[in-house]
Amino acid sequence: MQSIMLKAKLHQARVTHAVLEYEGSCAIDGNLLDMAGIREYEQIQIYNIENGERFTTYAIRGEEGSGIISVNGAAAHLAKPADRVIICAYANYTEAELANFKPALIYMKEGNEVSHTSNAIPVQVA
């Protein structure tokens, strides 16, 4: 049996570009892709904190060290520069793989610099 699990998350990244006249996808700083373990052309989910939009696209590699998060193509209608977004990638894991499973959680601060990383989301208290 396999389970679909959160593989990686870029939490509160800032959109730097929204380019309507583009083939599609989301360009992400290559350093952030590598840190999160997200592969170029991998399907990603984007959750816009500012307006509640949720959409699916795929990642493409942006210039390393640029901090770029460019929402392209039709998705450019769903996010604008300065919007805070959560970018997630999911993957299938077998029960054996889940024994040591830990997602890559990358927390961002303004300017798309990494604030900190983690492998577990804290327990939410009541």
pLDDT at residue 24, rounded to an integer: 73
Distance, CA of 43 to chain centre: 10
- The 3 state secondary structure assigned to 41-73 is CCEEEEEECCCCCEEEEEEEEECCCCCCEEEEH
Domain regions of the chain by residue span? 2-118
28 within 8 A of 110, measured Cβ to Cβ: no
Please indicate if the annotation marks 120 as binding a ligand.
no
Please indicate if the annotation marks 73 as binding a ligand.
yes
Collapsed DSSP state (helix, strand, coil) of residue 114: strand
Which CATH code for domain 2-118?
2.40.40.20
Please indicate if the annotation marks 91 as binding a ligand.
no
In this predicted model, what pLDDT tens digit does every residue of 27-76 receive, in sequence order? Answer: 999 999 999 999 999 999 999 999 999 999 999 999 999 999 999 999 99
Catalytically active residues, by annotation:
25, 58
